[in-house]
């Protein structure tokens, strides 16, 4: 009797072990809607980036700087993206929401963008190459670049309060649009996100 139940117990362990092994070998993949909210660690994630960019876009397009500029110059303003400094405590990829803002502004048809300084260097190199190798008809001349009227720059800051594994994280994203001819700030956008992260002091 004892032997039989012992063997049974051992078989259960063996099966459990095999199942555990199989589970470990094969990752589970579920496709998620890019708009869904999924918080794992409490760190800055795609939802934060999307929320900030959407609200910043709405704000920047609804303010008066745009209509004032268009009325005065009879053309749409040209904007360049400057540096968005990450002053937070996380390695945040600021490029994703800057790209979102840039795309929305371009697609609105009310603002045009010029390439960033890094991109410009690459394009200038290409033009120099064209100077030597492209045909006269297709060659793009130097010195015809469009100068930007405004620069979009900003920062991400965080304030963290932590005790005994729990944290309250406060993110503040500030973006400003600066008139390149007068250094005047024509628009200032701000977004705030507050999260509370609670961690259990006990794990399995």
Of 54 and 158, which has the nearer Cβ to another protein? 158
**In the numeric block, which tokens belong to residue 147?**
């100068």
Binding of residue 204 to another protein (CB under 8 A): yes
Binding of residue 88 to another protein (CB under 8 A): yes
Binding of residue 90 to another protein (CB under 8 A): yes
Of 3 and 137, which has the nearer Cβ to another protein? 3
- The helix (run of H) or strand (run of E) holding residue 3 is helix 2-25
**Residues between 117 and 176 that touch another protein (CB under 8 A):** 158, 160-165, 167
DSSP 194: E
Of 3 and 71, which has the nearer Cβ to another protein? 3
Cβ atoms of 39 and 47 within 8 Å: the answer is yes
Pairing of strands 112-113, 150-163: unpaired
Tell which one of 78, 86, 116, 190 touches another protein (CB under 8 A): 86
Q: Name 4's bridge partners.
A: none
Instruction: Give min distance, CB of 166 to another protein, in A.
Output: 9
Tell which one of 12, 87, 106, 185 touches another protein (CB under 8 A): 87
DSSP 16: H
Sort 77 into a burial class: Cβ within 10 Å, 0-12 / 13-18 / 19+. buried
Binding of residue 4 to another protein (CB under 8 A): no
Cβ atoms of 58 and 52 within 8 Å: the answer is no
Which stretches of the chain bind another protein, using CB under 8 A? 2-3, 6, 41, 85-91, 158, 160-165, 167, 199-204
């Amino acid at each position: 009797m004892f032997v039989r139940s012992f063997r049974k117990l051992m078989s259960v362990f063996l099966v459990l072990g095999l199942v555990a092994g199989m589970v470990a070998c094969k990752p589970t993949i579920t496709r998620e809607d890019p708009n869904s909210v999924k918080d794992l660690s409490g760190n800055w994630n795609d939802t934060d980036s999307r929320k900030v960019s959407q609200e910043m876009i709405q704000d920047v397009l609804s303010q008066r700087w745009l209509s004032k500029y268009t009325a005065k110059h009879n053309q749409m303003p040209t904007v360049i993206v400057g540096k968005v400094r990450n002053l937070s405590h996380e390695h945040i990829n600021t490029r994703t929401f800057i790209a979102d803002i840039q795309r929305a502004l371009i697609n609105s048809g009310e603002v045009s963008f010029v390439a960033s300084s890094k991109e410009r260097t690459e394009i200038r190199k290409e033009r120099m190459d064209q100077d030597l190798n492209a045909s006269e008809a297709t060659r793009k001349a130097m010195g015809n670049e469009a100068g930007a009227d405004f620069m979009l720059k900003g920062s991400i800051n965080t304030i963290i309060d932590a005790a005994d594994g729990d944290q309250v994280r406060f993110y503040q994203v500030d973006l400003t649009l600066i008139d390149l001819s007068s250094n005047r700030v024509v628009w200032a956008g701000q977004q705030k996100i507050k999260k509370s992260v609670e961690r259990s002091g006990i794990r399995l």
